[in-house]
Every structure is written in C-alpha cells, then in structure tokens.
Structure 1
C-alpha cells in the first residue's frame, strides 16, 4: 500500500491536485473505452475523439506532475510556464471532448458530460494551485 503523506507546502498541494486530476482523467478514459452503445456515426466519432482528447490530457497532466516534482530555483519560471501550459492544454482537451457531443442527443452524451465536467473541475483546481505556487512572493521553499 502506498504511503499517504500530508500536503505541507503549496508545492505538495499543487502536486496532490494534479495527481487527483490524472486519476480522474484515467478513470474517464477507461469509462469511454467501455462505451460501445454509440448508435449513430456522429456519436461514435465524438466518442473516439473524446477518448483521444482524454489520453492527451493524461499525458499533459503527467508531464506537469513530473515538472512539479523536479522544480529548481534556477529554472523555476520556465518550469512553472511549462506546468501552466500543460494543465491549460488538458483543460482545452476536456472542453474539446465535450464540444464533439454538441449536436448529439443521447444517454451516452449525458454520462460523458457529467464525467468530463468533473475532470475539468479538478483540473481547473490544479491549475489554480499551480498559479498560486507561481504567484508566491520571493520563491517558495521548494522542499523535496
């Protein structure tokens, strides 16, 4: 069993938020992979595109977590820019996923919309915490 460590610093909080976002995005990706009830071509295309968008989100969020785990004083600005860009891209992917269902009316759409909205909410929270880390006055104590 994995040891759960309390979040003691803004960096810990940002990392925890990104981990939650990754876990939720992975869960939604698996859910999307199991959906075989798409009845129309438009619905199948929207699902396929959404699966791809969610895989991209997981990748971008994973890159963000890697960056946050290895923050260094001398490259802090660059690393924060990377993290903000990747989390913003993940949010865009999540929005794009929902856009594909714009003209689809089905139970599948409703389920996907609920799940993607939840992922977008936690991803937005992660971005907020990353932005707060970046806004800290006089470099944060990065810790280990």
Structure 2
C-alpha cells in the first residue's frame, strides 16, 4: 500500500531525529609539568629534559566524572581490516557519561562529558604492531 506524500512526510516528522555524530579529537601529545611534595626536604626536584612528552594511548568511557571512578566496560570489541573497533552502548541516564583521553607516561586524563542524546560511542585504533595501536577516531552518536 502506498501512502500519499503528505502522509508519509507527517509520519517521518514524528520519528525521533538521530543524534548527529560527535567526534572527540584528543590531542595526540600533551606537555605535562610535574611537581612533587617530598616529605624529606633533603631531596631536590630536577626536571628530566630527556623524558618524551605524554602521547595519546587510548580513549575510555566513564559512567560519571572520571575523578569519581566508574570506568565503563566496553560492550563489544572486534577487528576490521587493519583496525580494532571498541563499542560502548549507552543506556539512557539523566547524568552524562564521560569520555577521557589516556596518555602514556602520565597520570593526567583529558575528559569531556558525552552529549546526553548519544546512545553509543565507538573507538577505532590501528591494530597493534610492535607497540600499542594508534587512536584513529572516537565518535559518539
């Protein structure tokens, strides 16, 4: 059965709009200024100029602000050609989920809330060669 164009357009207008994909582009390298509070004042803090900058390792998801913990376990991980895809499904919640960029040689995370309308997030990395894979993209939709 065919519907007149006006009826079909009205039905389509009533369907919920799909959320536009949100691309999170983590900085690949971050400079970190480290400090310490030694309990023994006889130690002198010296910066190691040979230490490389912190580089992006992966992206992870949290059920709440990362400072409160709540690391979210992925729902699915699979290989596709030369990449690995990790998927988190996000059931509706009144509080936002959070994503965080994780860096090698750092205890610093760069974090942002995920839009409330997002229903899944997908991390794509290159397959590991001798070293850990490189982040290709992190998209929530």
Q: Same fold by TM-score, threshold 0.5 exceeded?
A: no
Select the structure that is richer in helix.
1
**Structure with larger RCO (C-alpha < 8 A, sep 6+):** 1
Which is higher, the Rg of structure 1 or of structure 2? Answer: 2
TM-score (norm. length: structure 2): 0.26
